Chains A and B, each alone.
Chain A
Amino acid sequence: MPIVELHQVRKAYDTKIAVHGLSLKIEPGTMFGLLGPNGSGKTSSIRMMIGITVPDSGSVTLFGQPFERKNLTRVGYLPEERGLYKKMNVLDQLVFLGQLHGLDAETAKKRSLIWCERMDISEAIPKKTEELSKGMQQKIQFIASLLHEPELIIMDEPFSGLDPVNATLLQDTLVDLRREGKAVLFSTHRMDQVEKLCDEIALIANGQLLLSGSMREVKSTYPRNRIQIVFEGSDGFLKHPAIAEAKNYSGQAEIKLAAAADLAGAANAVLAEALTMARISRFEVVEPTLEEIFIERVTAQSPAPVNGVLTHA
């Protein structure tokens, strides 16, 4: 039974269509990446999943049932626009948000303390929120969305603005939660994170689904036509006819091969040519990165100007 299912969901704001017949499904125990350029309808889709806004048409199914508000206590949500009560003390704030998600004050307090320790911000507990750094506030809000042990965790850009140490801490926490069988959905435009973390992805642009499926499926539909090469010497081999496109970053080149029936043969030819004029320390034939797929698919779609009124992502 999928945890979330959107079926042909459509949402329009005044003049702009934010989401265009979007369908997707998230199974328990998966890490789901919702990708898309700015203003593509990510936040609008997420808002409809949790009933902040109601779709104009189409259906939203949560936990196998048509959308019902009472099920929202089983969802943890970290919005893209972070917000906490500035003047409120951290613990009070966490307890309040926990209570809104149906916990009693006692449990909310106990879990807050445990989570603060896990997130390494115990020293922030007695402070007022406005005294904390932005990263710390983000961690507090991260905790607030998890206190009630939700089965579905939705995070809009969870890692933006965090330093690498904290970003990793959050990543690891999400991975742990997935292992516990929770469904995690996060939106981002950091492709490296998606590639590392996600089991499933969906790519949307202009409110339409461009691509979806498991990471392996998505990647396997793309041919292994990329070469990464590290070399010393002349870069003349980059003009080889089998190469469609090449970028040379002083001794490190990224090559895209022209479409051909025998890509492996073409790669070998490029290597042979390179060996005649340069010393090669690394040569690797790879499938395109998610980032490349992303850029290719998004630019292939009509690059209509996107003006977000209500949609932030």
Chain B
Amino acid sequence: MQAFTSHTGKVLPFDRNNVDTDAILPKQYLKSISKFGYGDWLFDDFRYLDEGSVTTDIKTRRINPDFILNKPEYQGASILLARDNFGCGSSREHAAWAFRDYGIRALIAPSFADIFYNNCNKNGILPITLSEAIVDDLFERCTAADDLVLSIDLEKCEVHLGDEKIASFTMDEGRRQNLLQGKDDIALTLAHSDAIHNFEDLLEEREPWLFKKIEV
């Protein structure tokens, strides 16, 4: 996983509540068994005028010029500004992979759906929860200027616009450390293998039926 320490990038304002993971990455792309290559399909239904599939050559797609991702001024944006309950719906991690592959490094919203938030964390993307007032203000600033550039510092947990500090944010310390170091959760958990084994042994004594082999 790519580490996240600090990042400076252009903001893409996505002004919609309850953006669900079906919208972020439509179901036909869940057929891919790869972990990479989802960037061209991010917001596919909005982004293209025709319907695509895993096997469609992206160069043949008809682009929707009105959709924000296709506007020249937002090319290269790497911070998504969003509204409430962002990433709700399906647990598909493909939604986080699509952001990662598109080049989004951080998301800012008043609230995120739980599973999506975790999925971002596990893929080197930083979801930042800020108050509605601050998010409103950022949207207004985006309307005023086409290229709002923010700097995010995960060491200090701060968001800056030039020299101006926009906000501080909080996140679980363990998650923050993982992101800072780009670490694999599994290795960290396996360091506690003994504790897990001990727990499991006691459980098996008490509820042995949970350990029965499943016959197929």
User: Are these two chains actual partners, yes or no?
Assistant: no
